[in-house]
Structure 1
Amino acid sequence: MPVTRFGVSLDEELLHALDDYVAENRFANRSQAIRHLIEKNLVEEKWKCDNIVAGAVVLVFNHEKADILKKSSEIQFDYRDVVLSSQGFYLNEQNYLEIVAVKGPSKRLTEISDRLISIKGIQHGKLVMSKAE
């Protein structure tokens, strides 16, 4: 894809914030960070319109709490119209990482994500969505 160059004027405080963002996220340069932020904003706008998007729900929890996997499976079954697959990984002796791949209307993906993340015992949960079309 061809790249078009253009100039951007920012006040100094915003420029420092952009530079911090570039460093924190290890972007190669400001242009890459700005492209990422624009793409992220466009995707989030699609979420609001309830467009078809793809994504993943990432969950981290103590695998010794067996009922968490059971509840997660039950919720995924309820949302089988948007769940593509799920995969789990043992991170260490206690922690388990489950990734649920999803595709469908953004509101539906937000619903399943909220339900999964709210399972008692989930240590960390996040929904990541991207445009699918």
Structure 2
Amino acid sequence: MLKKIVLIACCSLTLMSGVSTIASAQDLSVVMRFGPPEPRTEYRPRARNGYTWADGHWESRGRRHTWVKGYWLRNQRGYNYEQARWEQDGNQWRMHRGKWQRNQSDRDHDGIKDRNDRQPNNPRRHE
């Protein structure tokens, strides 16, 4: 219930400011009439075991773009992280937030890559 109220409030505020918010089952994307500035050059730290680096990116806040610095995310077994990105669609720009996508090389969804799986067709049971 609280999610619906927050989503309605966000939609109302952004529509009044010339920005529209689109909710989907996977993610929340923002559509604007103007694109983001060029990405900033940001120091990328060395890889950390068990973590994925989320690159810094521009986000829409009101009628402005705000830079969000990169940060570490704990890895999720069986998933790959898809970085946040902006995409141009005609005269509009759509921001796709970063999200975890199920690893496509794990057909039985047990968290073990098919090439390392002794039983690649043994689906994990949900109890």
Structure number having the greater helix percentage:
1
Structure number having the greater strand percentage:
2
Q: TM-score, normalised by structure 1?
A: 0.24
Q: TM-score, normalised by structure 2?
A: 0.25
